[in-house]
């Protein structure tokens, strides 16, 4: 069986992009950013600047998604953001 040509791969990618919605990409981005934020607050991988950037990114992107994503999803991400902020505050206390 032969592998797809570059042209076929480009065509497949274009078909997938036609199906993709910006809101889907933003939701995936929020998941990724929140995961990275928590990771950067862990003792093993602590980087408070990166954790703060993750929190600020979530706070900036959430309002953009309102009306384009399910309200439960928005509520869940608000809760994640609040929990990240609390964990960040705890982490900064332990650094001092």
pLDDT (tens digit, 9 = 90+) per residue, 18-59?
A: 888 999 999 999 999 999 999 999 989 999 999 999 999 999
pLDDT, averaged across the chain? 93
- The set of residues, in sequence order, having a beta carbon less than 8 Å from that of 24 and lying 6+ positions away, is none
Give the pLDDT mean for 61-77.
Answer: 95
User: What crossing angle do the helices spanning 71-95 and 48-65 adopt, rounded to 10°?
Assistant: 160
pLDDT value at position 1? 58
Return the DSSP state at 43: S
pLDDT value at position 2? 62
Give the pLDDT mean for 10-25.
Answer: 89
Kindly report the pTM of this predicted structure.
Answer: 0.81
- The set of residues, in sequence order, having a beta carbon less than 8 Å from that of 59 and lying 6+ positions away, is 81
Q: How many CB atoms lie within 10 A of CB 88?
A: 19
């Amino acid at each position: 069986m032969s592998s797809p040509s570059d042209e076929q791969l480009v065509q497949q990618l274009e078909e997938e992009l036609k199906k993709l919605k910006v809101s889907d990409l933003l939701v995936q981005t929020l998941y990724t950013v929140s995961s990275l934020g928590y990771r950067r607050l862990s003792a093993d991988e602590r980087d408070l600047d990166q954790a703060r950037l993750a929190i600020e990114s979530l706070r900036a992107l959430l309002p953009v998604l309102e009306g384009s994503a399910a309200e439960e999803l928005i509520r869940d991400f608000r809760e994640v953001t609040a929990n990240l902020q609390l964990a960040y505050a705890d982490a900064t206390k332990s650094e001092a």
